[in-house]
Structure 1
Amino acid sequence: MSLSIIVPVHKVQGYIRQCLDSILDPDLPNLEVIAVDDASPDGCGEILDEFAERDSRVRVLHLAENVGLGHARNAGLDAATGDYVWFFDSDDHATEGAVRAVCDRLAETRPDVLVFDYARSYWNGKVKRSIINDLFREPPAPDVFTLEERPSVLEMMMTAWNKAIRRQFLLDLGLRFSGGYYEDVNVTYPILMAAERLSLLDRVCYIYRQRRRGAITKTTGAKHFDAFAQYDRIFAFMDEMGPKADPFRQLMFDRTIWHLLVIIERGDRVHESENERFFSEMSKTYNRYRPEGHVPPDTKPFLAEKHRLIQKNDYRGFQRLGAGSVKAKAKKPARKANNLRKRGVLYSKEVAKDRYYQMQRRLAIDENLAVFAAYWYRGYACNPAAIYEKARELAPHIRGVWVVKPGARKDMPKGVEYVVSGSADYYRTIARAKYFVNNVNFPDHYVKRPGQVHMMTQHGTPLKKMGLDQMEFPVGAKDMDFKALITRSDRWDYLLSSNPLSSEAWERGFPCNYEMLEIGYPRNDRLVQADEEERGRLRAALGVPEGATAVLYAPTHRDYQRHYTPMFDIGRFVEQLGQDHVLLLRAHYYYKLKNMAADMGWPEGRVIDVSKYPSVEDLAIASDALLTDYSSVMFDYANLDKPIVIYANDWETYKLTRGVNFDLTATPPGVVATTESELVDAFVSRAAWSDTANKARENFRARFCPWDDGHAAERAVRRMFLGEKVPSPPR
């Protein structure tokens, strides 16, 4: 017995890896995966080819143009060779061991259709099994049966992804998925009616992802009217079946009206202006297919009355019926608001600031004012600084103002305008500015006005899990309010991506309604354009002796550690490297450290503490090699094409506590050391400069630096401030 899993793919680059990984059970040689790239404009096609290259069970069909989910499924069906087919949505995934369990059940029962259970997975981490899971058990089902023997199967989810279908049975019926929305119902209902052998698997095999954005059927629009044509096809199929379909007509009719009520009552699918027309089409469907002697169901409040109103096409009565139930629910939020107003009183100074801020928000937006910030107002840095500088060149009409903490004022570059956070100037600026650029989120007290535009640049390629992906790793997610995080992220209009890995991670971690700008990192423009003259000047300013090998040591933060603790004996390491090496020590900005080199008694002049140096780009250009662990600095540094050494002594712990997006030790940018002796040897033996290390770095650059060409800041400015479209990056 063989199984073909058909996966149509379109704009799901953040989810497709998990989908395929969950399907490709290594112990199932008779498994075939037909991945249909439905002209996806993102990195999906590339990811599919990557899977096909390493697993011969994966076949990829690249469609020349986008045909939609239904027709993409048909293309996969035409290419499939398995005894059974399973149509799988590419943003969902299988539970552990599910594919094997499905194959075992198919081999045991040899059904025409196997139906299994699913669970819904929500963006906030909750997972709920289907509410109709009792239908798998009550009453106990025989191994094989017909729909007439167990008609409740018709009440199970009508999707294609919770069923495995005998391929020849499906082909003999001549059923094809249609275009448009709800494309699977005209296949999934008929196969249940026509099957001579049905079987159930009482197990959650499929995780149905409830995405915050991107779900087609949750998009408001006229396409939801497609449902009527889909149900027309089902009743036409039943007419062709003749008397064999009679036992199912009443239940199928009730299911149809149930589904159409779901569409019109959800409020997020049909435009309010189109509700009456949709209701009128419901009435036509009702009267066209209502079985003789049909009795409206009364299983839920008002359901029988809704049936009667639909039959009479009484939309006004339907509205009145719905308003009665909505009014009762509307009281709670009002009570909640009253309770909030009764809570404690703010200090008078805070009240004054808030009132001033509210007043400023009533005034006109300054169309040429832009706010820049970085690292929670720590100063002038990172991608926002690179964009600010390029905006002064390409969009001189834009007045850029930085927000900084009081202590950061002294480090602001000459000629750069700034306001201090919390001041009256600050509140006036954030209330009136048109544009906002930051590499982290703005504070919760900031209120985004209609017409204001936000660009989130982020501040590193995410080796580690970020955003909602952190929910699976409690140590990394400690004290994080994910609901507040997503509320802040909903402000973004643009989100910068430095490489394909970032695009995948941001799509999963921050499922909000922004435009992804796959343009490279603006802060890396300097690295790409750096020359020897600049390098020499920076080395001299840092005190690097002429002829010395300067190693930039930039470790990351460990969520599982309370305080900063060096991963190796830095003093001994420097001594073993010899007099011709200098270590530029760059501790993570989370740690408030003084001069660590002096405090620890490390060799004077051989360990230079640059933790407070304002520009990590300067340090990268000045150095000869990078020593890091899991810091995102490695992705930027790779642009310099200089040696990188990864010290991964706690890789397994880091993976378990923080979560990672790929295995760094399998695809490193150079030498990987796991012990202190290996670390020393990487430099002393010059292994970091070897051909093997150079090849690893070349592969790493190709994967993670494909868009860093020295013009990322220009692309950001042209999109944000000049309103120009920027070309998609080469794939």
Structure 2
Amino acid sequence: MPELTVVVHGPNTQDRLTALLASLAAHPHPEVEVVVAAVGTWAQETAGAYASEMLVLPLPDGTDDATARSAGAARASGRWLHFVHAEDGLPAGAPRMVAERIAELPDEVDVLLFDHVRSTWDTSGLPSDDGPLLARAGRAAHPLDDIARAALRVTPLLGNRALRTPFWHTHERRLTTPDEPFASYATLLLADHIAALNQVAYDHHELRPESLPPATPEDHYTLVDRYETLLTLARNRAATAATATATATATATAAATATSSLPGTTGDAVPRSLPHAVLYDVMVRDCLRTFARTPMPDPVAREFFRRAAEAATRHRPPGHRRPAGPEGIRRSLLEENAYTRYRAFQAANRARRAVKSAVRARSRQVTDALGDRHYRKALSRPVNPNLAVFAAYWNRGVACNPAALAAKLTELAPQIHPVWVVTPENAPLLPPHTDHVLPGTRRYREVLATAKYLVNNVNYPNAIVKRPDAIHLQTHHGTPLKRMGVDQMEFPAAAKGLDFPALLARIDRWDYSVSANSHSTRMWERAYPSRFVSLDHGYPRNDVFYTATASDIRAIRDRLGIPPTHRAILYAPTHRDYEAGWTPRLDLATLADRLGEDTVLLVRGHYFYDGTPSPLTALRRTGRVIDVSAYDPVEDLALAADALLTDYSSIMFDYANLDRPIVIYADDWETYRSTRGVYFDLMAESPGPVARTQQDLTEILTTEAWHDEGATKARAAFRRRFCEYDDGRAAERVVRRVFLGESEDTLPPVTPLEDRTPAPSPREAL
């Protein structure tokens, strides 16, 4: 008997089922069974491709979700059930994670809640609000009364909870309803004990409202009916519990007397119950939000408001106190069924917000005007020939090519003073004694207006003026595989409203563009059509790959906690324009297990995802991986790694300088290529072996394939093409050419590839 049965149910909505089943097939687990309740011909044909790995249950067109769920559950053999709608998704390894968690639970637990992410037609991986609620619940099993404030505020989806199979069968009649939020709340009200898992194990796809049938008046009224039924269930639950307690603690006569006076056992009195009180609060808030945000004809809106008012009055818990402020006023007007006054209150609030918004906008205009005036005044001063402004990654700090140039500048031209532009949140992370300015401040405007040199690996803001005697140096931050600049015009999903005329105006400020190879030189000229001079000198940030010593590498690995004799694999996936958050595409726990105890995974999420919840938290606690997403500089990670595992990230071009194995995991190459656009076919010109599934990847990394003769030949060809100018002296060449004004002829020549000696590998460093 498997621990978990994943019941996939429903029609192949917007062809989501294909990706869902492919993901499940790519990450099998012996304790996870998959049953597909396939509704309609298309879903059955889609599921048929996986019939050897999954149990496919064909259901006729038009079968509703509730019936499909029940049909799938009837064929399940797992101890627990996880209902997954065909339009939704599962992060890699999620079923395994749920199965491992439920294996730990005591028998009295009926429901396991876990976190999820949200996806829409144009974004994916948006974090839910449930994480803090689940964290508050902890890992222990609780009766609902103990965690009602958290559990009943978790998003009501059947997909973000697993149900013990006997519990489902006991309450199947009540839970088999097309109203999924009702069924979701009911699972909690009917459960004996509840447990939580504060990790993402579900991806809920919210369909565009325009793709759904238009809502009818009855659809709106159903919201109130749902909560009416749930609150009655909560009241009966409390009454039953109170009766059982009284019966167990008194004599039959005393119990009868006590029971007759219990709230909720006679008439319509509401019992004193925390779940009832929390659910009541959820109902009122949900009804008010729906009323405010959902367009309804006035008669329908009036009727919805009336029904919500009656429910709010009828189910109000004894002693209930409304919140203070505007929310309390809204609730008071609702309970009074004061529709006209509520609309007037809404209008007044909108007017007040409009006034506040106008005041704030005016204040910003005044501030900006004063700043612009100060900047224009500073532009009238002479340019300071000994002042250089540096920035990297949208003012994140001292990093990348600008950092390597600033260091070399201090060595070769100490008379030039560097100032870094850094955001307030990143300023505390700067190296000691780093002179810096915060964007928008008075000194920020002064240094940008008067500096002779402006260096960046992205672009300075549109408002920055290009002075004739100032020099703008664009260093870039990677070799381009994906389309860049104006080449993105053919790929609107990647461009996402990019203002191309403004982009071209920023490009026109460039005097120099740093390039690591002739491929980059050609692509920059194509993607950024302007008059800049290409500096074919190599990437300064890659100098360290030729200057680092064995002791440097040992020290880095020691800081990271990598045992000296262990193999370290750096997993560094790139950002995808069709994803808003990061969920690892690999089942990292399974991969770590298969690679063995002598392999460490260094996992680095893309910097675009800073501030989003890390999906690596639990794995980090187990010690199976090291989360290095916040570690800087990334060059240290490359030096510490015996091999690189990536997808389409430009780190592959930099890492190739080390002449160490590179493995490509390209499970979504076709999607990436069609949505982002690429400059060459990585599948045909890769730096090493390519895996399209996790099974392929595991085979590569557990055999000699990751560093065999074929991998070595592929890497050699890749290095010849993309490590053309990187030889350890790139920063020196750029500083001499730009800051010291030396001619191209006098610069140190690029060392031929065959004559270069990369930094020692970790094994050589031993």
Name the TM-score, length of structure 2 as normaliser: 0.49
Partner of 1:353: 371
Answer yes or no: is 1:624 the counterpart of 2:642.
yes
Q: Given the superposition, is the C-alpha separation of residues 520 and 664 from structure 1 closer, same or farther in structure 2, using an over 3 Å criterion?
A: same
SS of the aligned residue for 1:699 comes to helix
Partner of 1:510: 528
Q: 1:602 to 1:369 in 2, by over 3 A?
A: closer
SS at match of 2:493: coil
Distance in 2 (alpha carbons) for counterparts of 1:595 and 1:653: 25
Matches within 5 A, 1:357-372: 357-372=375-390
Deviation at 1:579, TM superposition (A): 0.7
Residue in structure 2 matched with residue 568 of structure 1 by the alignment: 586
Deviation at 1:601, TM superposition (A): 3.8
SS of alignment partner, residue 742 of structure 2: coil
- Aligned with residue 430 of structure 1, among 426, 429, 448: 448
- What CA distance in whole angstroms lies between the structure 2 residues aligned with 1:406 and 1:399? 21
1:615 corresponds in structure 2 to 633
Q: Does residue 483 of structure 2 align to residue 461 of structure 1?
A: no
Specify which of 704, 708, 714 is matched with residue 686 of structure 1: 704
Render the CA deviation track for 1:375-394: whole Å, top value 9, x for unaligned.
01000000000011111111
CA pair 346-415 structure 1, distance change in 2 beyond 3 A: closer
CA distance in 2, matches of 1:710, 1:598: 34
Pair 1:481–1:595, CA change in 2 (3 A): closer
- After superposition, the C-alpha distances for 1:282-308 in whole angstroms (9 at most, x for unaligned) are xxxxxxxxxxxxxxxxxxxxxxxxxxx
Partner of 1:577: 595
What corresponds to 2:604 in structure 1? 586
Letter in 1 for 2:430: M
Structure 1 CA distance, aligned partners of 2:722 and 2:395?
28
Partner Cα separation in structure 2 for residue 376 and residue 405 of structure 1: 8
Deviation at 1:423, TM superposition (A): 1.4
SS at match of 2:622: coil
**Matched-pair contact (CA < 8 Å) for 1:718–1:726:** no
Q: Contact (CA 8 Å) 1:597, 1:608: kept in 2 or not?
A: no
Cα distance between partner residues in 2 of 1:507 and 1:609: 37
3-state DSSP class of the match of 1:596? coil
Q: CA–CA distance in 2 between the matches of 1:596 and 1:547?
A: 28
Residue of structure 2 equivalent to 1:102: none
**Inter-partner Cα distance in structure 2 for 1:577 and 1:563:** 27
Q: 1:450-490 CA deviation, whole Å, 9 max, x = no partner?
A: 21110000000000111111111121111111111010010
- Following superposition, the deviation at residue 493 of structure 1 comes to 0.2
1:390 and 2:424 correspond: no
- Alignment match, 1:67: none
> Residue type of the partner of 2:597?
Q
Q: How many angstroms apart in 2 are the aligned matches of 1:595 and 1:559?
A: 18
Query: Which residue of the partner structure matches residue 710 of structure 1?
Result: 728
User: Deviations 1:168-214 (Å, cap 9, x if unpaired)?
Assistant: xxxxxxxxxxxxxxxxxxxxxxxxxxxxxxxxxxxxxxxxxxxxxxx
Q: Residue 628 of structure 1: CA displacement?
A: 0.3
- Give how far 1:572 is off: 1.1
**Cα offset, 1:612, TM superposition:** 1.0
Q: 1:406 aligns with which of 424, 449, 452?
A: 424
Tell me which amino acid in the other structure corresponds to 1:570.
L
Q: How does 1:585-604 map to 2 (within 5 A)?
A: 585-593=603-611, 596=614, 599-601=617-619, 604=622
Aligned 1:126-137 pairs, distance under 5 A: none
Mapped to 2, the partners of 1:600 and 1:662 lie a distance apart of 37
Q: How far does the alpha carbon of each residue in 1:505-557 deviate from its partner, in whole angstroms, 9 at most, with x for none? A: 10110011110111110000001222211110000001112211111111001
Instruction: Quote how far apart the aligned CAs of 1:349 are.
Output: 2.1
Within 5 A, what are the aligned runs for 1:171-570? Answer: 346-570=364-588
Name segments (4+ residues, structure 1) moved above 3 Å.
343-346, 600-603, 727-731
Counterpart contact for 2:619–2:625, Cα < 8 Å? no
Match of 2:173 in 1: none
2:388 partner SS: strand
Distance in 1 (CA, whole Å) between partners of 2:371 and 2:381 is 16
Residue matched to 2:685:
667
CA distance in structure 2 between the partners assigned to 1:505 and 1:393 by the alignment: 32
Q: How many positions carry a matched residue from both structures? A: 389
Counterpart CA distance in 2 for 1:464 and 1:662 is 9
For 2:567 and 2:521, locate their aligned partners in 1 and report how far apart those are by CA, in whole Å.
Answer: 35
1:417-455 deviation digits (Å, cap 9, x = unpaired): 111111111111101101011000001121222211100
SS in 2 for 1:553: strand
Instruction: Encode CA deviations 1:227-282: one digit per residue, 9 max, x unaligned.
Output: xxxxxxxxxxxxxxxxxxxxxxxxxxxxxxxxxxxxxxxxxxxxxxxxxxxxxxxx
- Aligned residues of 2:388 and 2:455 also touching (Cα < 8 A): yes
Equivalence for 2:675: 657
* Superposition deviation, residue 717 in structure 1: 0.3
AA partner of residue 635 (structure 1): F
Instruction: Say if 2:727 and 2:751, in contact at 8 Å, map to a contact too.
Output: no
RMSD (Å) for aligned C-alpha atoms: 1.8
CA separation in 2, counterparts of 1:680 and 1:525? 32
Q: Where does structure 2 lack aligned partners over 5 or more consecutive residues?
A: 1-360, 753-766
Contact kept in structure 1, 2:583 and 2:615, CA below 8 Å: no
Match of 1:60 in 2: none
Deviation at 1:345, TM superposition (A): 8.2
- What's the offset of the Cα at 1:591? 0.2
CA distance in 1, matches of 2:387, 2:513: 20
Q: Which amino acid aligns with 1:452?
A: A
Contact in 1 for aligned 2:456/2:473 (Cα 8 Å): yes
The residue aligned with 1:726 is 744
Give the letter aligned to residue 531 of structure 1: T
Report the Cα distance in structure 2 between the residues aligned to 1:574 and 1:495, rounded to whole angstroms.
41
The CA distance in 2 between the partners of 1:441 and 1:535, in whole Å, is 33
Counterpart amino acid of residue 413 in structure 1:
P
How many Å apart are 1:597 and its aligned residue?
5.8
Distance of aligned partners of 1:543 and 1:680 in 2 relative to their CA distance in 1, 3 Å threshold? same
Q: Deviations over 1:622-656 (max 9, x none)?
A: 11110100000000000011111000111111111
Deviation digits for residues 106-145 of structure 1, max 9, x if unmatched?
A: xxxxxxxxxxxxxxxxxxxxxxxxxxxxxxxxxxxxxxxx
| Percent identity of equivalent pairs | 51
Of 594-603 and 569-578, the range deviating more from structure 2: 594-603
Q: CA distance change for structure 1 residues 695 and 643 in 2, over 3 Å: closer, same or farther? A: same
Q: Shift in Å at residue 565 of structure 1?
A: 2.4
Shift of 1:598: 5.1
Q: Given that residues 607 and 629 in structure 2 are in contact (C-alpha distance below 8 angstroms), is that contact kept between their aligned partners in structure 1?
A: yes
- Matches of 1:533 and 1:602, distance apart in 2: 27
From the superposition, tell whether residues 598 and 702 of structure 1 become closer, same or farther in structure 2 (CA, over 3 Å).
closer
SS at match of 1:664: coil
Provide the C-alpha distance between the structure 2 equivalents of 1:381 and 1:532, rounded to a whole number of angstroms: 23
State the AA in 2 paired with 1:575: D
Residue type at the aligned position of 2:701: F
One-letter amino acid of the structure 1 residue matched with residue 483 of structure 2: K
**Contact conserved, 1:597 with 1:609, CA < 8 A, in 2?**
no
